[in-house]
Amino acid sequence: MFAAIKDKIFADLGLEDVNAGLYDGDWVSTDGRSTLDVISPINGEKLAAVALAGEDDYNIVIEKAWQSYQVWSKIPAPQRGSIIREIGDEISKYKETLGLLVSLEVGKTRVEGMGEVQEMIDIGDFAVGLSRQLYGVTIASERPNHRLYEQWHPYGVVGVITAFNFPCAVWSWNALIAAVIGNVVVWKPSPNASLTAIATNRICSRVLERHGLPPIFFLMVDEGRTLGEKLAKDVHVPLLSFTGSIRTGRQVAQNVASRLGRSILELGGNNAAIVSDKVDMEIALRGVAFGAMATAGQRCTSTRRLILHEGIYDEFVEKLTNIYKKVKVGNPLEEGVLVGPLINQRAVDAYRAAIQRAVDEGGTVLCGDEVVQPAGCEDGFYVRPTLIEGSPSMGIVCEETFAPILYVLKYSTLDEALQIHNGVMQGLSSSIFTTDLRESEAFLSLHGSDCGLANVNTGTAGAEIGGAFGGEKETGGGRESGSDAWKAYARRQTVTINYGDTLPLAQGVRFDV
């Protein structure tokens, strides 16, 4: 089955045994270039090789991107929106195939792979609507015969660095919105998801070619941080969006800030779900289970801490443990599988190390703690979702491990639960499960959840595109996707027009000559 699916994907998407990982307006020749093997986490099989971009290619890409910007930015925004609409339609044609490629390359289940592509389509729709709503504001001027207003202009070239866990959706959050504003995008994807990036870029670029337009989506694949560091340090990249670890994000932020550039950072999450004793048990169990186990715990919004009221603690833990023991772990291409593989062996090692550290710090493993080898996938990277009873004082509980590990913590009062909840340095997503209005409103109040995303009776994972996405504290503070997050991809300009025949000054200042 695996080989047949792979062959169909490669045929539909035009992928080859060796694929160009550099698009500078043309797909460059792979001859003589260093290559990176793309390994599927499902079974350890090599999918293909990618010919890498090098440092010598970087300046060419940036120069061509600025040339494209001179053309693209002069096209009226509604017309840019029309092009983005066609890009969304083109992506729709490949939803199944591209979704399967996501599954093959990063190990998502079929439905999650399809959902990721649907997210790109939805973002395209959002961007189309946005193309006719790039509003400024008119401001009352204190001076007679003056008009004061704000307008927004594109930055020019926007760099986008994405992680493996959402190999194309997060790119679209940035790229399609940035493009409809008039920007051109240079993408450096995770080397663990380079085939998905190549296929996505090809689909989008074909639409531009049909219209005789210059390329607006450029692509550079490397196997390390060299090109990412160049993007962060380059004054010719006014805005850089980075998704990844807190440690790397901190360095990116420093490099961008040192040249007074702009950055959008979406970094780590250590998300918690508070479950009250006043709860719909079924909803809470489903919400916590999905939040903790979806994408094998490799979402930045994955639930990593369960803060559980003492009054229902034993009952809830027993029921959740039964769910964990029954959940099917295996080949994500198979029906009924809910938990696929981790991305690579390093992730498996991190899973095992985190569990051992939790035990060393006094935690108790309730279930899981197992590396598994599903039939036919013996060389894949599978682990059993793990529940660990612990304490907020455990150091490992305050850290993010990109694996399906859920720490179960007990509380007695809501104030205690909120203190535990906010007692970590990450601040991305949060949730509370309660039918008590006072509890939910307290959770959403100024002194409630300190995260960028707050949910009531739904899990920490699975945000909709219409709301701005991002977090606080060490999560970075950036916002992407919906609402008015588009303003991050544009520079604000305040305009003053004097249409009178005198020159009055603001604040009553006089300057008579």
Given the residues 204, 300, 377, 451, the one annotated as active site: 300
Strands (E), 93-172: 138-139, 146-154, 157-161
Given the residues 105, 266, 439, 474, the one annotated as active site: 266
Of 408, 472, 99, 165, give the one whose Cα is nearest residue 297: 165
> What would you report as the CA-atom Rg of the chain, rounded to the nearest whole angstrom?
24
Backbone torsion region of residue 450, taken as left when φ is above 0, otherwise alpha when ψ lies between -120 and 50, otherwise beta:
alpha
Where do the H-state alpha helices sit in 164-193? 169-181
Please, which residues bridge with residue 490 across strands? 154
How far, in Å, are 54, 218, 248 from residue 22 at the CA level? Answer: 9, 8, 23
Q: Is 300 considered catalytic here?
A: yes
- Compute the Cα dihedral for 379, 380, 381, 384 and give only its sign: negative
Report helix, strand or coil for 309: strand
201-205 long-range contacts, CB within 8 A, separation 24+ = 201/23, 202/13, 202/14, 202/27, 203/13, 203/87, 203/90, 203/91, 203/94, 203/98, 204/87, 204/90, 204/91, 205/23
DSSP type of residue 461:
S
Q: Is 168 considered catalytic here?
A: no
The residues assigned a catalytic role are 266, 300
